[in-house]
A and B are shown apart, each in its own frame.
Chain A
Amino acid sequence: MSVQETRRAIKPVSPLREAAQMFCRNRPAIFGTVLLSLIVAAVFYGTFISGADPYEIVWAPQAFPGEAENIPLGTDYMGRDILTGLLKGGGPTIAVGLSAALITVVIGISVGAMAGYFGGWADNALMRFTEFFQVLPALLFAMVLVTLFSPTLTTIAIAIGIVSWPQTARLTRAEFLRIRNLEYVTAARAVGAGNNRIIWRVILPNALPPLIVSATLTIGVAILFEAGLSFLGLGDPNTMSWGLMIGANRSYLLDAWWPVTFPGLAIFLTVLAVSLIGDGLNDAFNPKLRQR
């Protein structure tokens, strides 16, 4: 009694692979990926291979890029090599970005998932709590946290995480609200799945694409945040980071543009790469575009 199939059956492609294909066809996203790979490679080199000390004074202060052979990007107000600073400073910058994004995602998903899945008063309470964090301008709040608890990379990452999770929580909640009413969730319950299984194994994987996109973008936001704090002088002075370079060289801007411009560019390119990838993922996961 089996149904006769169309002879030219549709080739089986897993949704992930399909998304990957979409992604690979997205030129800006590929550009972003290549860019990010280059940046990460450079930062990796700087962090683990190059032995140079970013704090070492190697030449006269504020030497113009290329003024001497070994200082292609010039030196800063102390005579420290900017290229070394960029290579060494990328690690902490990206690390802060990643760990802040991780904190954001962990808090955001937990809160959002609980609120969205259980609904009712749990949702109400959690969302009120979230709103609480949302009405405070994030940078201001982060500044307060960092100053009060002294600026180290850890506190900075935590502060950024603390101020940015609400958005992820809202997104997660919205996705959970949407998905929990879909029939396959009811179906899972009908075959005896418990709350835990439904939250983590059924809903979360389906809510993941927008969350991945948002997490990717959060990395960018966190990097910008770190830079903003450093710019205001609230960075960790014992760890070279791109934001710190900008903040420290800021008052010498009029005399030397390069110590500010290059780290700024580095941040810009990193965030750009990350958001291009985020956009690419968004397009790749977006079912609307996939239907066609």
Chain B
Amino acid sequence: HAQDIEPGGSVVVVSTQAPRHLNPAVQSGIATAVPGTQIFASLLKYDENWQPQPYLAESWDVAEDGLSVTITLVEGATFHDGEPITSEDVRFSIMTVRDNHPFQTMFEPVSDVETPDERTAVIKLSKPHPALLLAMSGALLPIIPEHVYGDGQDVQVHPANSAPVGSGPFRLVEFDPGRQITLERYEDFFIEGRPYLDRIVIRIVSDPSSMVLALEAGEADILPFLTASQDIRRLESGEGLAVTNRGYEGIGAINWLAFNTNKAPLDDIRVRQAIAYAIDRDFIVNALHRGVSAPQRGPIVESNPLFNENVEAYDLDLEKATALLDEAGHAPDANGTRFTLTVDYLPGTGEQQQNIAEYLRSQLPKIGIAVEVRASPDFPTWSQRISSFDFDLTMDMVFNWGDPVIGVHRTYLSSNIREGVIWSNTQQYSNDRVDELLEEAAVENDPERRKALYDEFQTIVTDELPVYNINLIPYHTAYDERLGNMPEGIWGLMQSMDEVYWIEQP
């Protein structure tokens, strides 16, 4: 149907997230990923069925023993400065990401990348690494030019991070930090005839209502990463607009309540379970989030094939909760209060975090736990508190990033209890069996066996509850109906928009 597509036109994307710079190789997060995946191409794409698809890599081949992967690059691919993209650049990119990206598990097993010829790269692994292919897609492995970033400067603060020479379908025209990013079609993109759009403008808007208004007024065309239920509901009924939650499976953003398992009384599993039983997940999902978000029962996103259906769901049961607390020896005082806990939350995402924290304040007293909400004015304050283990309960939002190895292990491995590092095992949960299971799963190439390992892991951690999973962050994209081929893979807009086109230009 490519013949029917009339290329051209520009698209305005609005977002509240301001990227620090545009190089996803050294920066995780949505903000950098959206423009980053337009500017840089990855080796693979992932389709909505979690299957790898060719992109910069024409083909790939995983060795029997799982200890090497051979990549063949497409022909004629060039960077935006016209230099050809070679296997050297692939090697450089993988090494840069391995050494600099915060998700260390992605390429940690990579021992070397061999480059027998310009278009062939052989990735050598020290141990089998089933997560590798996923880690080569989306924003996780941008192919960056060695001749730019390999000049010896610290790549973390490389000037080219803000003025990148990319490999993807769009090239940077202007990066106005905190305000706007303007991208333009790269004429020599390695896929013939693509991209269809001439121009992408990513505008950073501080106020969510403004974004909604802009979309309604036709001033903007795409509003990704929308989570506020009222905005979703409003835009769903908006004329000429489409709203979808597809394309976010890979991120797998889980909204959860984390326990400081090292601190009394939360070091008692029964107390954690009691709290879980006292929380009404249905109320949160259906009333607070008006049904836009999906319940999440375990540590692996429910849409991921690895999810274990049979984990304990902790449906609301106040009697059981009180019984557990009684059993744990926390008798209520004259006011009916057993003990007081503080709950922190990640600032800035009200409906997902603060509202639930506040809900806890009104809910947990029902089982005799007084709750004090402790606000952090900004992210750094919160991250400081949590990563130094200065908390009782905290709401948190952690991403699966496709493969458990990348996004799940970090929360549960006892080896990842790292003071000062946020989104490590800040719950300080430690279970030898869990450590064992995760280590095995990380190197297990057989899908069946891998699933079994993860099933057991999921059962254990939902029983022992270092975190109580609440819901999947209801990421939605609202866009102009007249846009065709909106990315539907697991990475949503953190994926190249080279196929997006205007069915009918506005």
Q: Do chains A and B touch in the complex (CB under 8 A)?
A: yes
Partner-B contacts on A (CB < 8 A): 53, 55-57, 60-62, 77-79, 146-147, 150-151, 233-234, 236-238, 248, 250-256
Bound-state Cα–Cα, A56 to B358, Å = 9
A236, B212: Cα distance in complex, Å: 28
Query: Do most interface residues of chain B lie in helix, strand or loop, or is the interface mixed?
Result: helix
Select from chain A the residue with minimum beta-carbon distance to B216: A254
Q: Is the CB of A150 within 8 A of B358?
A: no
Q: Which residues on A sit within 8 Å (CB–CB) of B234?
A: 254-255
Judging by beta carbons under 8 Å apart, are B372 and A238 in contact? yes
Residue from B207, B231, B233, B359 in contact with A78 in the complex, judged by beta carbons closer than 8 Å? B359
Q: How far is the CB of A231 from chain B (nearest CB, A)?
A: 11
Residues of the A chain whose Cβ atoms lie less than 8 Å from the Cβ of B375: 151, 236-238
Q: What are the 10 tightest A-B residue pairs by CB atom distance, in nearest-first order?
A: A237-B375, A255-B230, A147-B377, A251-B208, A254-B209, A253-B209, A56-B362, A252-B230, A55-B362, A151-B377
Q: In the complex, are the beta carbons of B230 and A57 less than 8 A apart?
A: no
24 contacts between A and B (CB under 8 A): A53-B362, A55-B358, A57-B359, A61-B290, A77-B355, A78-B288, A78-B358, A78-B359, A147-B378, A233-B347, A233-B377, A234-B377, A236-B375, A237-B354, A248-B350, A250-B207, A251-B207, A251-B228, A252-B230, A254-B209, A254-B212, A254-B213, A254-B230, A255-B230
Whose C-beta in chain B lies nearest to the C-beta of A256? B230
Taking CB as reference atom, which chain A residue is nearest B212?
A254
**Bound: A56/B348 CA distance, A:** 22
**Least Cβ distance of A85 to chain B in Å?**
12
For A254, the closest partner residue in chain B by CB is: B209
Q: A55-B361, A238-B372, A251-B208 are in contact. Are A146 and B377 (CB under 8 A)?
A: yes
B158 to chain A, nearest CB (A): 30
Q: Check B351 for interface membership: any CB of A closer than 8 A.
A: yes
B443 at the binding interface (Cβ < 8 Å): no
B436-484 contacts to A, CB under 8 A, are none
Bound complex: CA of A151 vs CA of B377, how far in Å? 7
- Which residues from A are CB-within-8-Å of B230? 62, 77, 252, 254-256
Closest to B342 in A: A238
Q: In whole angstroms, how far apart are the Cα atoms of A233 and B345 in the complex?
A: 14
**Docked CA distance A56–B375 (Å):** 18
Q: Which residue of B lies closest to A238 (CB)?
A: B373
B9 → chain A closest CB, angstroms: 28
- In the complex formed, the residue of A with least CB distance to B355 is A78
B18 to chain A, nearest CB (A): 16
A250 vs chain B, min Cβ distance (A): 8
Q: Which of A62, A79, A248, A251 contacts B209 (CB 8 A)?
A: A251
A250–B350 Cα distance when bound, in Å, is 11
- Bound state CA distance, A233 and B374, in angstroms? 13
* B160 interface contact, C-beta 8 A: no
Contacts of A234 in B (CB 8 A): 377
How far does the Cβ of B104 sit from chain A's closest Cβ, in whole Å?
A: 31
Chain A residues with CB under 8 A of B287: 60-61, 79
Provide the residues of chain A in CB contact with B233, threshold 8 Å. Answer: 255
